């Protein structure tokens, strides 16, 4: 194995530019790389497309702000692809006032679209969304009398991920429910930037315990 570059969050996000498509791991902020989000926010990059399960939590009354919410509030996205935006009222406002294009995708379909991109599949057939607005514009394929939607792969330029532990080659271990979308996004982006709580030597992670193999990781960023 060769070592992957290790750099600061500020340095790592420099390659992200206006128009970039970014995937961000996490679920309501749990498993989202906070240092990378903060650095990207500070960098001020605009017109990005976000692919994330949700737009996390933004509750100004309680001073609560998690996950990708800072980027949403600062209007960094021209498009947001997510399964849930209900806990960040600013996303809904931007959507309703046509400031940001928001595409809602069922969570399981989102996961499979991302996995399909990483796995080289041309698409997958899911029963989810049949008979709902989700089927609009999609090919419906009937198999054995049952209808399925053909859902296409979803790629990104960058994946911003959060790991509990990374070895220097880029093998990753995630913690508890902070795993969520992180391992599948690792497969589906051209450049994968991983913020790791702990960075260890190659060989220190048991090969049976690796949750995302080193080949997907491009850059490792220590948590600030």
Partner 1 sequence: MDYTPDKSKIAKRIARFFKSGDIVNLGIGLPTEVANYIPSDVIISLHSENGFLGLGPAPKAGEEDWDLVNAGGMPVTILPGGAFFDSAMSFAIIRGGHLDYTVLGVLEVDQLGNLANYKVPGKLIPGMGGAMDLTVGAKKVIAATLHFDKGQSKLVKRCSLPLTAKGEVDYVVTDLGLFTVEDGKFVLQEYFKGCSPEFIIENTPADIIISPNCKEVEV
**Hey, which residues between 139 and 198 contact its own copies (CB under 8 A)?**
141, 143, 146, 148, 150, 152, 173-176
* DSSP-derived pairing of the beta strands 156-167 and 21-24: parallel
Tokens of 118: 């990483």
Between residue 31 and residue 70, which ones bind partner 1 under the rule CB under 8 A? Answer: 31, 53-54, 56-57, 66
CB 110 within 8 A of CB 149: no
Per the DSSP assignment, residues forming a β-bridge with 102 are: 80
CB 162 within 8 A of CB 9: no
Q: Which stretch binds its own copies (CB under 8 A): 26-34, 60-68, 74-82, 206-214?
A: 206-214
Q: CB of residue 193 vs its own copies: minimum separation in angstroms? A: 23
Q: CB of residue 153 vs its own copies: minimum separation in angstroms? A: 9
In angstroms, what is the C-alpha Rg of the chain? Answer: 18
Q: CB of residue 117 vs partner 1: minimum separation in angstroms? A: 8
Dihedral (C-alpha) 118, 224, 37, 89: value to the nearest 10 degrees?
A: 120
Q: Within 13 Å, how many C-alpha atoms sit on residue 214's CB side? A: 19
CB 220 within 8 A of CB 164: no
Between residue 153 and residue 212, which ones bind partner 1 under the rule CB under 8 A? Answer: 164, 167, 169, 171, 175-184, 187, 202-203, 207-208, 210-211
- Residue window 89-128: x/- pattern of binding to partner 1, with contact defined by CB under 8 A: ---x--xx-----x-x-xxxxxxx-xx-xxxxx----xxx
Q: Which stretch binds partner 1 (CB under 8 A): 12-20, 38-46, 69-77, 79-87?
A: 79-87
Dihedral (C-alpha) 6, 12, 74, 79: value to the nearest 10 degrees?
A: -110
152 binds partner 1 (CB under 8 A): no
Residues that bind its own copies (CB under 8 A): 112, 116, 119-127, 141, 143, 146, 148, 150, 152, 173-176, 207-209
């Amino acid at each position: 194995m060769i070592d992957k570059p290790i750099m600061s969050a500020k340095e790592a996000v420099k390659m992200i530019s206006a128009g970039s498509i970014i995937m961000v791991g996490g679920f309501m902020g749990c498993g989202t790389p906070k240092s990378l989000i903060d650095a990207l926010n500070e960098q001020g990059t605009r017109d990005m497309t976000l692919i994330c399960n949700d737009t996390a939590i933004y509750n100004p009354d309680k001073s609560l702000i998690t996950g990708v919410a800072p980027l949403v509030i600062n209007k960094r996205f021209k498009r947001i692809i997510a399964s849930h935006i209900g806990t960040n009222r600013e996303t809904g406002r931007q959507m309703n006032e046509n400031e940001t294009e928001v595409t809602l995708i069922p969570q399981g379909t989102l996961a499979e679209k991302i996995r399909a991109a990483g796995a080289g599949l041309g698409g997958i057939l899911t029963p989810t969304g049949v008979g709902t607005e989700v089927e609009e514009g999609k090919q419906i394929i009937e198999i054995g009398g049952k209808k399925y939607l053909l859902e296409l792969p979803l790629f990104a330029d960058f994946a911003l991920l959060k790991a509990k532990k990374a070895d220097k080659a880029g093998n990753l271990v995630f913690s508890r429910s902070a795993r969520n979308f992180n391992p599948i996004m690792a497969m589906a982006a051209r450049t994968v930037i991983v913020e790791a709580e702990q960075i260890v030597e190659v060989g220190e992670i048991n090969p049976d315990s690796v949750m995302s193999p080193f080949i997907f990781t491009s850059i490792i960023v220590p948590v600030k």
